[in-house]
Structure formats: C-alpha cells, structure tokens
C-alpha cells in the first residue's frame, strides 16, 4: 500500500481514521466498513474500485456529510466532517434534475445558494461557462425533460463544478452512458479538474476508467467489514491522451494488478 510519493502530510485534505459504518437492520447491525484508514491528498484524483456492495457509496456519502459516521472520523483539512457543505460537490450516476426547469435553471438553483451576494448576471455567467464546458452551450434553455440521458449527466457535471467545490465526489457518474459519451465526459472532467485544481474522488466499476483518470486507484476489500485492500499508483504524466495511455506498456501491468485484486 502506498501514498502519493510527492505528497507530504501537509498535503492531506481528507483523513479517514478508523472509519466504521454500521447500518442497523431488522436482522441486527450490519458492519459495512470497519476501521478503514485512508488519506487523500490535495488536488489528487483517486478512483475507488471494489465489488458491488462493499461500501463504496457508503464511504463517499460519509465524506459528503450525507451519511452518519458510526465510528472513527473523517478529517477535512483537519476538522471532523459533521455534515454536508459547499466545499464538497457530489455527482451521482443519475443527476436528478428538476424536469420542468431548463438546463440553465437547474444549474442556477444551487449556485444561487452558494453565492448569495453575486448579481443575476454573474450567476448566469458562471452557469453558462460550465454548461458550455460540458458541451451544452447551445442547449442551456432546453427543459431537462427534453435532454437525453447523456445531456442530463452533462448538466449534473456542470452543476457540480459551478458550485466551485474544493472536493468533487463522483459516484459512478458515467456508469449509464454509452462509451463515446463516456470518453468525452472523462476528458471534460479531467480538463476541468486540472484547471480548477480540485481534489476528485471517483467510484467506478470500470478498470480502464480508473487507470485513465486517477493518480491512485484505491481497492476496497469485499464487505462486510470492508477496508482498503490495496492502493495502486498510476504514474502516467498529465495531461493524459487516451491513445498514448492505451499503448503504454505500464497500462497492462496496472490493468492486471487491478483485475487480479478484483478476482481474488
Ligand atoms: N441505509 C442502509 N441500511 C442498511 N444497509 C444498507 C444501507 N445502505 C447500504 N446498505 C448496505 O451496505 C452495503 C454497502 O452498500 P454501498 O451502496 O455502500 O455499496 P457499494 O460498494 O457502493 O455498492 P455498488 O457498487 O453496488 O453501488 C450493502 O450491503 C448495502 O446493502
């Protein structure tokens, strides 16, 4: 197991210490995570992989402050996470847009709350900038119901970025998209992540996506009582070009490492 070699303790933005999550169920307590230790560095991109049901979403929602912590703690810049905040943006697999509102109005909704002092024009400019970035420059005024699934997910990404979070939490954001849209949005995500210098934590079931996006791939053991099983450093330079990475000899070493972990 390794931490990013270029990082020092000073750079830790999220520190999970003995993190435990227990869900009460009719059959008794279910211990999903037990004494999990993980540090995430500032401006890092990490992917989290693990078998279905091991507790990836549970971990992400606890970082988001949307799910209570049963034991241990999560320090965010050295302060314990006790609830949600604008410093953390979340992108889920399905963006849950308000169907009667336009793409722009959906993005504006959250931005207004985070920047109450900004003028109407400033708010609109922020939203339009990110909608343009995700390729919806000409579709901002379409109602959410008139957008394809891929376009709705683009709105979800624009909405999360427009809130200007320091940490972006992504729960399989491209899981339901076709492979072309997926590749395009991965590129958009990397571009904005790089430009905004934020920290990104992404859950994925897709080994290739994890390798393409991440600085480190965090592998979770199967539950119950899941923990971090292994961490793989991905050494590709940035910016990353998909073709070059696919042709890189290390690519297959990384891929084998992850698949071996998942198969055992
Ligand atoms: N509110 C809840 N009450 C009881 N059990 C829960 C609750 N939420 C999740 N679980 C259980 O906790 C375990 C972890 O769920 P979680 O959604 O975090 O896993 P996951 O790794 O994200 O799964 P997937 O990859 O399928 O999305 C599962 O067994 C799930 O059934």
- List, for residues 42-75, the tens digit of each pLDDT value: 999 999 999 999 999 999 999 999 999 999 999 9
Report the percent of the chain where pLDDT is more than 70.
96
- Atom 16 in ligand 1: which residue has the minimum CA distance? 55
Count, residues in the chain? 264
Residue 94: band (very low, low, confident or very high) from pLDDT cuts 50, 70, 90: confident
Q: pLDDT (tens digit, 9 = 90+) per residue, 106-143? A: 999 989 988 989 999 999 999 999 999 899 999 999 99
Lowest mean pLDDT among 7-21, 126-140, 169-183, 211-225: 7-21
Range 158-178 average pLDDT: 92
d(CA 200, CA 142): 29
Residue 77: band (very low, low, confident or very high) from pLDDT cuts 50, 70, 90: very high
d(CA 225, CA 130): 39
As for ligand 1, residues whose beta carbon falls within 6 Å of it are 23, 25, 30, 32, 50, 52-58, 223
Cα(20) to ligand 1 centroid in Å equals 14
pLDDT of residue 9: 53
pLDDT of residue 2: 46
- Atom 31 in ligand 1: which residue has the minimum CA distance? 53
Nearest one of 89, 168, 159 to 131, comparing CA atoms: 159
pLDDT of residue 8: 53
Q: pLDDT (tens digit, 9 = 90+) per residue, 175-215? A: 888 899 889 989 989 999 999 899 999 999 999 999 999 99
ipTM: 0.98
d(CA 79, CA 14): 9
pLDDT of residue 208: 95
Nearest one of 52, 80, 43, 58 to 201, comparing CA atoms: 43
Cα(72) to ligand 1 centroid in Å equals 19
Cα(139) to ligand 1 centroid in Å equals 35
pLDDT of residue 171: 96
Range 16-33 average pLDDT: 97
Domains of the chain plus CATH, in order, are 9-87+165-263 (3.40.50.300)
Cα(166) to ligand 1 centroid in Å equals 26
Cα(49) to ligand 1 centroid in Å equals 14
pLDDT at 5 over 70: no
CA gyration radius, the chain: 19
Cα(193) to ligand 1 centroid in Å equals 28
Cα(129) to ligand 1 centroid in Å equals 35
Report the atom number in ligand 1 closest to the C-alpha of 21: 12
Residue 6: band (very low, low, confident or very high) from pLDDT cuts 50, 70, 90: very low
pLDDT at 223 over 90: no
With the most atoms of ligand 1 within 8 angstroms of its CB, the residue from 32, 47, 201 to mutate is: 32
Nearest one of 9, 11, 14, 6 to 167, comparing CA atoms: 14
d(CA 244, CA 249): 10
- Atom 6 in ligand 1: which residue has the minimum CA distance? 23
pTM, entire model: 0.93
d(CA 107, CA 94): 15
Contact 92, 171 (CB under 8 A): yes
With the most atoms of ligand 1 within 8 angstroms of its CB, the residue from 53, 92, 202 to mutate is: 53
pLDDT at 172 over 60: yes
d(CA 170, CA 88): 10
């Amino acid at each position: 197991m390794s931490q990013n070699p270029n990082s020092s303790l000073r750079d830790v933005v999220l520190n999970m210490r003995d993190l435990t999550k227990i869900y009460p169920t009719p059959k008794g307590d279910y211990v999903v995570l037990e004494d999990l230790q993980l540090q995430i560095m500032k401006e890092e991109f990490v992917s989290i992989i693990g078998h279905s049901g091991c507790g990836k979403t549970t971990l992400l929602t606890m970082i988001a402050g949307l799910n209570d912590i049963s034991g241990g703690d999560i320090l965010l810049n050295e302060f314990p996470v006790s609830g949600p905040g604008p410093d953390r943006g979340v992108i889920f697999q399905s963006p849950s847009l308000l169907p009667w509102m336009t793409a722009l109005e959906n993005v504006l909704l959250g931005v207004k709350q985070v920047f109450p002092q900004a003028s109407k024009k400033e708010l609109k400019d922020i939203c339009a900038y990110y909608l343009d970035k995700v390729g919806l420059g000409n579709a901002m005024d379409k109602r959410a119901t008139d957008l394809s699934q891929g376009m709705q997910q683009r709105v979800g990404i624009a909405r999360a970025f427009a809130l200007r979070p320091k940490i972006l939490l992504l729960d399989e954001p491209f899981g339901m998209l076709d492979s072309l849209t997926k590749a395009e949005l991965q590129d958009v995500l990397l571009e904005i992540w790089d430009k905004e210098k934020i920290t990104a934590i992404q859950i994925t079931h897709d080994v290739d996506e994890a390798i393409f996006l991440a600085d480190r791939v965090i592998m979770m053991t199967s539950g119950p009582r899941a923990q971090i099983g292994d961490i793989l450093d991905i050494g590709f330079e940035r910016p990353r070009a998909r073709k070059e990475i696919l042709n890189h000899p290390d690519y297959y070493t990384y891929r084998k490492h992850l698949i071996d972990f998942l198969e055992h």
